[in-house]
Structure 1
Amino acid sequence: MTQQTDWHISSYSGNNDDCVEVKVADPNLPGVVRARDSKDTGIPEVRVPTAAWGAFIDYVSHPEV
């Protein structure tokens, strides 16, 4: 897979491409975080407000989750 420089793949994906890619800054969509399947970038992506993404990251960052 050729990864675009503005999309970031999880460090947990290891050597395979079975993961989610995230684009946190897009001048065409300010205030929106985009997420997509790294295996099939042609399928529809998920778009969420930056604040919602931040809340999600905060939630999953806790060890008890």
Structure 2
Amino acid sequence: MTDCVVEEMNGMGVLRRHQVDATSAIQAAGQATGRAIGSGRNPGTLWIRVKDVAKKIEHEFHFAD
């Protein structure tokens, strides 16, 4: 399991922040938000940033629903 910080974003502003343990970044995003997640970020829409705490890597996702 990986310790991840999941941030629901509007532009560069953080709307909500969650800390979860998950096996992957996309699983962490889905677990924290309770919504379907897609890879990448769509311009002009809400998006999700997942930070792997140990590896210091950031991932970007969008809401797929």
Tell me the TM-score normalised to structure 1 length: 0.36
Tell me the TM-score normalised to structure 2 length: 0.36
Structure of higher CA gyration radius: 1
Higher strand share: 2
Higher helix share: 1
Which structure's relative contact order is higher, taking Cα pairs within 8 Å and 6+ residues apart? Answer: 2
